[in-house]
Chain A
Amino acid sequence: MKIFMPNHKWVGGLAVLCVFWGWQIAAGLIQLPLILPTPKQAFVQVLTLLVTKDFWHHLGATLGRGMVGFGLSLSVGMIIGIFAGQNATVNAFFRPLIILMRSTPVMSVIILALIWFKRETVPVFATFLMVFPIMVQNIIEGIRSVDQDLLEMVEVFRVTGWLRFTRLYVPSLLPFLAVGISVGLGITWKVLIAAEVLSYPRWGIGTQMDTARVYLQTDKLFAWTLVVVAMGLVFDYVLDYLLKKPFKTRKEAVHD
Chain B
Amino acid sequence: MIKLEHISKNFGYVKVFDDFTLAFPEDKITVILGPSGCGKTTLLNILAGLKPVDQGVATKAEHVSYLFQEPRLLPWLTIRENIALVLKEKMEPSWINRQIRENLETIGLSRYADCYPSQLSGGMRQRAAMVRAFSYDAPLLLMDEPFKSLDVKMQFQLIRDFLTLWQQKKRTVITVTHDVQEALWLADEILVFPEKPVKTINKFVIGLAQAERTQDGRLADIEKKLLDLLLK
Binding site for B on A (CB under 8 A): 149-150, 152-159, 163, 167-168, 171, 250-256
Complex Cα distance A252/B63, Å? 37
Task: Decide if B19 is an interface residue (CB 8 Å cutoff).
Answer: no
Q: How many pairs, one residue from A and one from B, have CB atoms within 8 Å of each other in the complex?
A: 59
Given A149-B70, A156-B64, A256-B124, A167 and B116 contact (CB-CB distance below 8 Å): no
Q: Check B72–A256 contact: CB distance below 8 A.
A: no
10 A-B pairs with the lowest CB-CB distances in the bound complex, closest first: A157-B86, A153-B72, A171-B76, A156-B66, A253-B119, A254-B119, A256-B124, A255-B121, A149-B72, A256-B121
Interface size on B, residues (CB 8 A): 28
Given A163-B89, A168-B74, A153 and B121 contact (CB-CB distance below 8 Å): no
Q: Check B48–A156 contact: CB distance below 8 A.
A: yes
In the complex, which residues of chain A have a beta carbon less than 8 angstroms from the beta carbon of B50? 152, 155-156
- Listed residue (B63, B74, B112, B121) with the most chain A CB atoms within 10 angstroms of its CB: B74
List residues of B (87-142) whose CB comes within 8 Å of A's CBs.
88-90, 112, 115-116, 118-121, 123-124, 132, 136
Task: Decide if B53 is an interface residue (CB 8 Å cutoff).
Answer: no
Complex Cα distance A230/B13, Å? 65
In the complex, which residues of chain B have a beta carbon less than 8 angstroms from the beta carbon of A256? 112, 120-121, 123-124
Complex Cα distance A152/B112, Å? 25
In the complex, which residues of chain B have a beta carbon less than 8 angstroms from the beta carbon of A250? 116, 118-119
Q: Check A150–B74 contact: CB distance below 8 A.
A: yes
Q: Which residue of B65, B85, B119, B132 contacts A163 across the interface (Cβ within 8 Å)?
A: B85
Q: Check B85–A159 contact: CB distance below 8 A.
A: yes
9 chain-A/chain-B pairs, Cβ below 8 angstroms: A150-B74, A153-B72, A158-B63, A163-B85, A167-B74, A168-B74, A250-B119, A251-B116, A254-B115
Complex Cα distance A55/B113, Å? 54
Complex Cα distance A149/B66, Å? 12
Complex Cα distance A150/B50, Å? 15
Task: Decide if B163 is an interface residue (CB 8 Å cutoff).
Answer: no
Q: Check A253–B72 contact: CB distance below 8 A.
A: no
In the complex, which residues of chain B have a beta carbon less than 8 angstroms from the beta carbon of A251? 115-116, 119
Task: Decide if B68 is an interface residue (CB 8 Å cutoff).
Answer: yes
Q: Which residue of B65, B66, B85 contacts A167 across the interface (Cβ within 8 Å)?
A: B85
Q: Which residue of B66, B118, B119, B123 contacts A157 across the interface (Cβ within 8 Å)?
A: B66
Q: Check A163–B88 contact: CB distance below 8 A.
A: yes
Q: Which residue of B68, B112, B116 contacts A153 across the interface (Cβ within 8 Å)?
A: B68
Extra A-B contacts (15), CB below 8 Å, given A155-B50, A159-B86, A167-B77:
A149-B68, A149-B70, A150-B74, A157-B86, A158-B63, A158-B86, A158-B90, A167-B74, A167-B85, A168-B74, A250-B119, A252-B119, A254-B119, A254-B120, A255-B119
In the complex, which residues of chain A have a beta carbon less than 8 angstroms from the beta carbon of B64? 156
Nearest-CB distance from B90 to chain A (Å)? 8
Complex Cα distance A49/B10, Å? 77
Nearest-CB distance from A70 to chain B (Å)? 26
When C-beta atoms are compared, the residue in chain B nearest to A168 turns out to be B74
List residues of B (149-203) whose CB comes within 8 Å of A's CBs.
none
In the complex, which residues of chain B have a beta carbon less than 8 angstroms from the beta carbon of A154? 85
Complex Cα distance A254/B68, Å? 24
When C-beta atoms are compared, the residue in chain B nearest to A164 turns out to be B85
Nearest-CB distance from A165 to chain B (Å)? 12
In the complex, which residues of chain A have a beta carbon less than 8 angstroms from the beta carbon of B85? 154, 157, 159, 163, 167
Nearest-CB distance from A174 to chain B (Å)? 9
Complex Cα distance A167/B89, Å? 14
Nearest-CB distance from B145 to chain A (Å)? 14
Complex Cα distance A254/B119, Å? 5
- Listed residue (A150, A152, A157, A255) with the most chain B CB atoms within 10 angstroms of its CB: A157
Complex Cα distance A251/B79, Å? 13
Q: Check A157–B136 contact: CB distance below 8 A.
A: yes
Complex Cα distance A252/B136, Å? 29
When C-beta atoms are compared, the residue in chain B nearest to A153 turns out to be B72
Q: Check B118–A171 contact: CB distance below 8 A.
A: no
